[in-house]
A and B are shown apart, each in its own frame.
Chain A
Amino acid sequence: MTQSDQYNFAYLDEQTKRMIRRALLKGLAIPGYQVPFASREMPMPYGWGTGGVQVSAACLTPEDTLKVIDQGADDTTNAVSIRKFFERTAGVATTEHTPDASLIQTRHRIPETPLTQDQILVYQVPIPEPLRFLEPRETETRKMHELQEYGLMHVRLYEDIAQHGHIATAYAYPVRVEGRYVMDPSPIPKFDNPKLGDCPAIQLFGAGREQRIYALPPYTQVVSLDFDDHPFDPSKADHDCALCGAADSYLDEVIVDDRGGRIFVCSDTDYCAGRRAETGGPE
């Protein structure tokens, strides 16, 4: 598909892109701090990645190769429609292969294949404020970030331990960036949290409805919150992938019949397909 000449390159007008670009630069200069930006209405509903799409639109160049994943998969509705959106409005090349991509927009996963310093990872974020479910008022959460008043978050994690015996938060697990801002890593499984820190790629986060942009420069220190006697545990399902046999990747549980049969398969479809192609396993 070629670029439609009905739209400006990458859909957004230049004034909007400049505004987003300025927010991205301030975000990179203050890692983990949520920069307000004037989010635009996009031709897709809130919750479908409008923040990520605006960040991608501000970053894409004609030479880029774009990959879009939704929960690790390249072939789900959200991923396919965003990929088509940029094929039509920016005319960029697209790929499903992680190493071939220069910009990856993701909903709720970090690819299993390690990222490189030539890549940018753009996260779609629903609720950027990690303290929002503890304190609904923006005026108060802003003050809490200002004062580094993060005790409430530790109380929440402690209550998990008191009730369940372990920290039950399994996704959107809060992290502290460079010892300063507590940040919501978007609803990625906590299995992915260790990949946030010391990452060679630039990581950008866009929340469209909530009008926030934040960022992690490469090689930033990112620590998942925990306690000395309850250290962070990036757990996953206690299985190997039923398709490729990977023991080290994040798994989805899939129901395969109406008699309760179920298998665990890699959530990262490209990683799984790549491993099967290497070993000659099932297609």
Chain B
Amino acid sequence: MQHATTLQGGFADAAPDAARAFRAAMTAMARPGTIVDMAGATPPAPLSVAAATLLLTLADRETPLHLAGRHDTPDLRAWLTFHTGAPLVAAADAMFALGDWAALQPLHGYAIGRADYPDRSATLIVECDDLSPDGAHLTGPGIKDSATLSLPEIAAFQANAALFPLGLDFFFTAGAQLAALPRTTKVRAA
């Protein structure tokens, strides 16, 4: 029964669940490369638990959301609309975008903010097969000396960091795990 799955899977106790999820997301964004546990929501496939929990924590009627590739399904549209109310839009109008790395391309299709309002930029939620603390070499604010994180590629994030203070911010999700990469992080191949 499709209707039932649409209505289920939200936070059991919205206020404390969202508070814990936000603290995990903030830790990830403030400390790039850190992989945190992110759980609470039970979404329909193919959405990961971490991405669903993040969207329930941050998305609402005020945050246009773009669904890319295999994440743009009737089930997911219905589930996200019921639980967040976020308007589903094209990439150019999105505050949040959700999808696999390949499906989210091209990155120049998203808002990178304006010189006077660099915060008006999109946040991309990249669904990954897995996250691991090895791969690309990260430095920048939030990182003591350096960190490492498995990233889908290098050049795109270097180009994004070069736009600072404009640019996109990224969350990476896999299962019930989450990591983040703000525009300030300098990325190079290990």
Residues of A that sit less than 8 Å from B by CB: 8-10, 14-15, 17-19, 21-31, 33, 35-36, 58-63, 117, 142-143, 145-146, 178, 180-181, 200, 202, 215-221
Contacts and interface: CB of A to CB of B under 8 A. Distances in A.
A17 B144 contact: no
A63 B23 CA distance: 11
Interface in B161-177: 164-165, 169
27 contacts: A8-B15, A9-B15, A10-B15, A14-B14, A14-B18, A15-B60, A17-B18, A18-B18, A18-B59, A22-B58, A22-B95, A26-B121, A28-B26, A28-B142, A30-B183, A33-B165, A59-B22, A62-B19, A142-B116, A145-B116, A178-B184, A202-B30, A217-B29, A217-B30, A217-B182, A217-B184, A218-B142
Contacts of B19: 9-10, 17, 59-62
B141 A21 contact: no
Given A14-B18, A17-B22, A178-B184, 20 more contacts: A8-B15, A10-B19, A18-B59, A21-B58, A22-B58, A23-B119, A25-B29, A26-B121, A29-B29, A30-B165, A31-B184, A33-B119, A58-B22, A142-B116, A180-B165, A202-B27, A217-B31, A217-B184, A219-B144, A221-B141
Nearest to B169: A29
A109 to B, nearest CB: 22
B47 interface: no
Nearest to B32: A217
A28 B15 contact: no
B25 interface: yes
Contact of A14 (B15, B26, B121, B169): B15
Contacts of B190: none
Contacts, number: 113
B103 interface: no
Tell me what chain A mostly uses at the interface: helix, strand, loop, or mixed: mixed
A119 to B, nearest CB: 12
A181 B115 CA distance: 12
Contacts of B30: 28, 202, 215, 217-218
Given A28-B29, A29-B182, A61 B141 contact: no
B16 interface: yes
B57 interface: yes
B156 interface: no
A220 B15 contact: no
A95 to B, nearest CB: 18
A76 to B, nearest CB: 27
